[in-house]
Structure 1
Amino acid sequence: MANLILSFILPPSKITILAIALFCILPLHAQKTGSDSLHVFDLSRSGQLERLGDWKYRFGDNPLWALSDFDDQAWGRLHPGKEKETNHGIRWYRTRVRLEGEQNDFDILAMYFSGIVSAYEIYWDGRLIHRNGGVAAVQAAEIPGDLLRVVKLRREWTTPGIHTIAIRLSNLHVHDSFRYFRIPLGYLSDIRDKLNEFMYLQLFNIGVFFFACLFSFALFLGGGRQRPYLMFSLYCLASVLGIGILAYQLLWNINIRYADSLVWLSYIITPLSGVLLAIFFILIFEMPRKYYHMLIVSVLAVVPLLLFDQSDPVLVLLYASGMALYAIRKKVPGSLTALIGILGLLAMMVFFYWGVVWYVYTAGIVFFIFCVMLSISRQIKQQNQQHEAAKLRSARLETELLKKHIQPHFLMNTLLSIISWIREDPPTAIKLIQSLAEEFRMINQISSQTEIPLSDEVALCRTHLTLMGYRQDVQYALEAQNLPGEEKIPPMIFHTLIENGLTHAYRSGENGRFLISCERNNGTVHYRLWNDGSQLEKLSRQPAQQIEEGMGLKYVKARLEERYPHRWQMDYGLRSDGWEVNIIIAQH
């Protein structure tokens, strides 16, 4: 029964039972006297609804069972949650109600029937007062009725005293298990008011989820296409569809055979909704071993459906609470707010079990959505702060690199090389001057940009290697493999790494070889920069901190973080045949 009220968290798993849940959450009265489960209804009090339960039942068919004076002491008694009857042919249910007081002059009594079984007949004191569909012992003869019925009771039928209600029914076209039910009895105006209130409540719930869906999808489109926003948007969409099924059946009464088909749709929507919500928390909490957690929540969402024939979100929410606690420990922004929202949902379930339920679950929706959106906003705030900090670091390091290229000793060494070549080989001196001018021109052109075409970066690297080759009177070669020319990267990434290689890998007068390659795989772009050099063995014996703290590597990391926040990895080290730097960038 818990899944009835938790439809705001996950879409309903049983459409027919959800409609009955309408009156399970209303302030109903259930007074009984004696051991024979006699219901009492005060005719002088409006606004009350008596849930007719504690049914006696018997399989078979006998018209005498409808009579009020029939002795049903030997009949079995239904118990909530214990019976799972289906496809047993015709059966009868009986219960009694005592009407007290004076009936309202301007209203009549009515009973509300919602998705009980395929077909049924209602008897009041032995009198057939309503028929929905055609009751039969075999499926071929049974005629499925409508999902919802409000049965009006004439004033002359509802005089003060004890009355017997008998139901003749069959359930051969509904594949869902038939369970214990309660039928609300009350004034017609009160029943209609409660139906309208519940309908408006569901429309409000749909509106909350719908706008949350649109907002989350807008964040996904305009916020770097981050998958957590998409997952929450899909979760809200699934909730809209699930609650929309309930609203649809309340607005347009349909044949129970088609309503039964909606049950199978809910069997898909409900677990899927739970999985989407859990994946959202897995991604936004930055959980390690994400696919492992996704597998667990998928099992938690499906197992209750397989074992208990209903989808219960409690297990998924408890697991999400555990992930939120982990995120709080790791100081993930917004994790505490998300935990409060999850605990609010769980508290709402407790209130339901205690009977404090009127409008609580709608308040739970609003509170949960508010907490999630607040959690998202805090993460966005932190991401913006990190992005701005990365831009500041990048600008500072960019300035340092530019200063490095124009600092006196760099120019002095280059000019000395030019003087030397002018004396020995004037044409080579001219080429050196041209290379120096070209490198300064390219650096000045791209340094202020956040990204440039990969082909421009490779051209800058080749220009720098040509310049350094002239200065050192050696040959430096740069090979490119599988480089997509249209790909864009932050400027001077490989230029900086190649400059580090020239500084640390080669002896004076030693030729050098560099290789840049690119590979796409499973939504990532993998760049690999390799170089040889006789000094690498000596470099490998240096502490890693001396390399880590170099300004060049800091610049590379700052540029990567600025352009690809939290979506890049870089490692480097000595391989068997040279020095290798790997940069892996996750695509949107």
Structure 2
Amino acid sequence: MRPGRPPRGPASPNGSHRRPTAVPHPGARSSVVGVALPSCLPSLLAVLLTAAVPAMEDGQVELHPEDLPLERALAADSTGWQTVRFDRVVPSSGPVWLRTRVQVPLREPGAPLPALALGVLGAWEAWWDGVPLGQNGRPGASALSEVPGRVDVLLPLSPEGATPGAHVLTLRLSSHHLGFQPTGILHEVRVGDAAVLARARLQSLLPALCTLGALVLMGLHHLVRAASEPRRTTALLLGLACLAAAALVLLEGWRGVYAYAYPLQVVRLRLLLAAVVLVAVLLPAALAVAFDAPGRRWLLALLSGGLLIVAAMPGFDDKGLVALALSLAVSLGLAVGAVRRRKPGARGVLACVLFAGVLLVRDPWNFQERGFFIAFGVLLLSASVVHARQVRLQEERLSQALRATERLQLDLLSRSLQPHFLMNTLAALTETVETAPARAVHFIETLGEVYRHLVGMSGARTVALSRELELCRAYLALMSFRQGAPFVLDVHGALDLDATVPPALFHTLLENAFSHNRYVQPTTFRIEGERTPGRRGYRLVAPRGAGEGRAVMGEGTGTRYVAARLEEAFPGAWRLEAGPHEDGWTTRVEVPE
């Protein structure tokens, strides 16, 4: 060590010296902090804000009911902010602020930048960690100043905003064009690959879209059958139910396929409710008609009234679920009743109704969007199978009735042209020509009118009641000439002269009356009309003739002809009853409207 030179530092245990440690001046330390703090302040605020804001994955957001200045809205200050559930966000009259913590998932190297999927019923501006992200429409303090946005939007994230972890989404939004009061306007906040998000939205619609084509084809098939064949009420109801379900599919998929402006949401919801109510009414109605359920008019009237009450309630939430639950309950009752009455196909329909009920109970809140299309598609298909089976049975019965009708027509024609009938008619005509030529001309005209009516009706399946009554009056006029006593037809009651009946129906019953009775006095035959809901009835009263009267109704050609004609015109839906009356014999015929 050189004299006069101070040591460079304290001696170490081994005799060496350490380098002196620099101690900064207190003023220099404060100057460093003053420079570094402003540069890291935004990051610190972002960290503090991220930690304080509730997370979307927990189903919570923060809402501020006032239109704050931008600086204050993006600050970490929590004064005035309220934590609410994300599905309970309902804005006030003016723009409001909303913020929530959103998690960006990890992604593989080289994967595309994620996007933010937002589903909001309103116009909004968005910030991501305090940085402007985009806007959808333009929020406003009134309906005039607001520009409506679309219901669903995908916003690409920047590389800085796409880092894995928690980020803060801040929205300034307004909803002046809703047209109804929803429980919440925030439907979706999710981060992911844009293509994956779009694919997931379409995949959620896949079950509904798969049933769309089948529903439309089934509906058109049933409507064509209903239009081409009379009295196909079941086919008409099934066709309308299938098309209503198809409309429901389209309306459910509308939002997933096309991001419309949010004011159209109320239009879509109203159309959805109308389609649900139609399906809820038409399906039980089709089952009631197909299974010929007793008291179905009252049951369907009560169901319709209940559905109208549900539809008239304010709002839209849960209405569709309640309507479908009522429909399934009524359908279950109809199916159980059909099983007890041993109706064909009732067990299959019951199994499908129970399957739909299980889907409803397992996931009631998503039933209308997911389970409905599978459940009601299978149920409509089973009802269509039941209807097809019934149609096949009716066609077989109709074919048998046609063959029987053809044979019976020949029998009746031969009976009308038999020598005994012609001999008596010609003998009466000959006598009339000699004694009263003018009356004989009328006799010949009446005979020609009877056969003219019979020939004109012979190939028809049904004729108007007015034509049938003309034939009956002509026949009674002819028999008046033959018997020398006036025979009159008295018609009264609820008769629709344009309604259709099988040809020669009452004419054959009158022939039976003359075949089994001897009328020598003036006689009045009565046809009385009556109506019940969905049915019309006719009562023919034939007075007792001179001498010992015999039964008018038996198993002869005339009776078999009447039964065959009724089966041909109204397969399985007619009734024919006959019995003695205090003054003669009464035959009652009942057919559907």
**Alignment TM-score > 0.5, same fold:** yes
The answer as to 2:202 corresponding to 1:192 is no
SS in 2 for 1:367: helix
The answer as to 2:299 corresponding to 1:288 is no
Give the partner amino acid of 2:571. P
Which among 480, 485, 497 is matched to residue 475 of structure 1?
A: 485
Which among 152, 165, 172 is matched to residue 168 of structure 1?
A: 172
Tell me which residue corresponds to 1:210: 216
Which among 107, 112, 116 is matched to residue 111 of structure 1?
A: 116
Which among 328, 332, 354 is matched to residue 343 of structure 1?
A: 354
Structure number with higher relative contact order (C-alpha < 8 Å, ≥ 6 residues apart): 1
Which among 152, 166, 170 is matched to residue 148 of structure 1?
A: 152
Tell me which residue corresponds to 1:183: 189
The answer as to 2:97 corresponding to 1:92 is yes
Give the partner amino acid of 1:311. G
The answer as to 2:128 corresponding to 1:124 is yes
Alignment of 1:345-360 (within 5 A): 345-350=356-361, 352=363
Which among 324, 327, 345 is matched to residue 338 of structure 2?
A: 327
- Tell me if the contact between 2:202 and 2:257 (Cα under 8 Å) persists in the aligned partners: no
Distance of 2:195 and 2:568 partners within structure 1: 64
Distance of 1:322 and 1:519 partners within structure 2: 31
How far is 1:503 from its partner?
A: 4.8
Distance of 2:368 and 2:490 partners within structure 1: 67
Q: 1:257 to 1:413 in 2, by over 3 A?
A: closer
Distance of 1:463 and 1:394 partners within structure 2: 23
Which among 217, 223, 237 is matched to residue 231 of structure 1?
A: 237
Which among 556, 562, 580 is matched to residue 556 of structure 1?
A: 562
* Residues 271-294 of structure 1: per-residue CA shift (max 9 Å, x gap): 233223332223222222333122
The answer as to 2:398 corresponding to 1:391 is no
Q: 1:147 to 1:52 in 2, by over 3 A?
A: farther
Tell me which residue corresponds to 1:48: none
Give the partner amino acid of 2:393. Q
The answer as to 2:505 corresponding to 1:493 is yes
Tell me which residue corresponds to 2:392: 381
How far is 1:156 from its partner?
A: 1.3
Q: 1:137 to 1:66 in 2, by over 3 A?
A: same
Q: 356-365 vs 370-379, which deviates more?
A: 356-365
SS in 2 for 1:168: strand
Tell me which residue corresponds to 2:30: none
How far is 1:396 from its partner?
A: 5.8
Give the partner amino acid of 1:282. A
- Tell me if the contact between 1:205 and 1:365 (Cα under 8 Å) persists in the aligned partners: no
Tell me which residue corresponds to 1:368: 379
How far is 1:117 from its partner?
A: 2.4
How far is 1:338 from its partner?
A: 2.8
Give the partner amino acid of 2:339. I
How far is 1:311 from its partner?
A: 1.8
* Residues 347-386 of structure 1: per-residue CA shift (max 9 Å, x gap): 3334545999997665446533432321221121122233
How far is 1:150 from its partner?
A: 0.9
Q: 1:534 to 1:192 in 2, by over 3 A?
A: same
How far is 1:572 from its partner?
A: 5.8
* Residues 419-447 of structure 1: per-residue CA shift (max 9 Å, x gap): 8999x989589989989997899878966
Alignment of 1:449-468 (within 5 A): 450-451=461-462, 461=472, 465=476
Q: 1:266 to 1:421 in 2, by over 3 A?
A: closer
Distance of 1:70 and 1:157 partners within structure 2: 22
Which has the greater radius of gyration? 2
SS in 1 for 2:139: coil
- Tell me if the contact between 2:287 and 2:383 (Cα under 8 Å) persists in the aligned partners: no
Q: 1:402 to 1:68 in 2, by over 3 A?
A: same
Which among 520, 523, 526 is matched to residue 509 of structure 1?
A: 520
Distance of 1:385 and 1:254 partners within structure 2: 52
Which among 236, 244, 257 is matched to residue 250 of structure 2?
A: 244
Distance of 1:485 and 1:278 partners within structure 2: 33
Tell me which residue corresponds to 1:76: 83
Give the partner amino acid of 1:391. L
Distance of 1:501 and 1:219 partners within structure 2: 40
Q: Which runs of 5+ in 1 are unaligned?
A: 1-33, 40-50
Distance of 1:583 and 1:348 partners within structure 2: 47
Distance of 1:480 and 1:244 partners within structure 2: 58
- Tell me if the contact between 2:63 and 2:82 (Cα under 8 Å) persists in the aligned partners: yes
How far is 1:462 from its partner?
A: 5.8
How far is 1:149 from its partner?
A: 1.0
Give the partner amino acid of 1:191. L
Distance of 1:354 and 1:255 partners within structure 2: 25
* Residues 287-332 of structure 1: per-residue CA shift (max 9 Å, x gap): 2233312222223434444277332212211211211211222233
The answer as to 2:69 corresponding to 1:60 is no
- Tell me if the contact between 2:207 and 2:374 (Cα under 8 Å) persists in the aligned partners: no
Alignment of 1:557-572 (within 5 A): 557-570=563-576
Distance of 1:265 and 1:352 partners within structure 2: 23
Distance of 1:359 and 1:297 partners within structure 2: 24
Distance of 1:239 and 1:282 partners within structure 2: 18
- Tell me if the contact between 2:53 and 2:99 (Cα under 8 Å) persists in the aligned partners: no
Tell me which residue corresponds to 1:22: none
Q: 93-102 vs 311-320, which deviates more?
A: 93-102
Identity fraction in percent: 23
SS in 2 for 1:311: helix
Tell me which residue corresponds to 2:25: none
How far is 1:528 from its partner?
A: 5.5
Distance of 1:68 and 1:427 partners within structure 2: 123
- Tell me if the contact between 2:208 and 2:370 (Cα under 8 Å) persists in the aligned partners: no
Q: 288-297 vs 85-94, which deviates more?
A: 85-94
Distance of 1:444 and 1:140 partners within structure 2: 77
How far is 1:148 from its partner?
A: 2.1
Q: 1:461 to 1:335 in 2, by over 3 A?
A: same
- Tell me if the contact between 1:57 and 1:78 (Cα under 8 Å) persists in the aligned partners: no
Q: Which runs of 5+ in 2 are unaligned?
A: 1-50
The answer as to 2:163 corresponding to 1:159 is yes
Give the partner amino acid of 2:150. D
RMSD: 4.7
Give the partner amino acid of 1:345. A
Which among 260, 269, 272 is matched to residue 266 of structure 1?
A: 272
Give the partner amino acid of 1:234. L
Give the partner amino acid of 1:299. G
TM-score, length-normalised on structure 2? 0.72
How far is 1:71 from its partner?
A: 4.5
Q: 361-370 vs 278-287, which deviates more?
A: 361-370
How far is 1:118 from its partner?
A: 1.9
Give the partner amino acid of 2:147. I
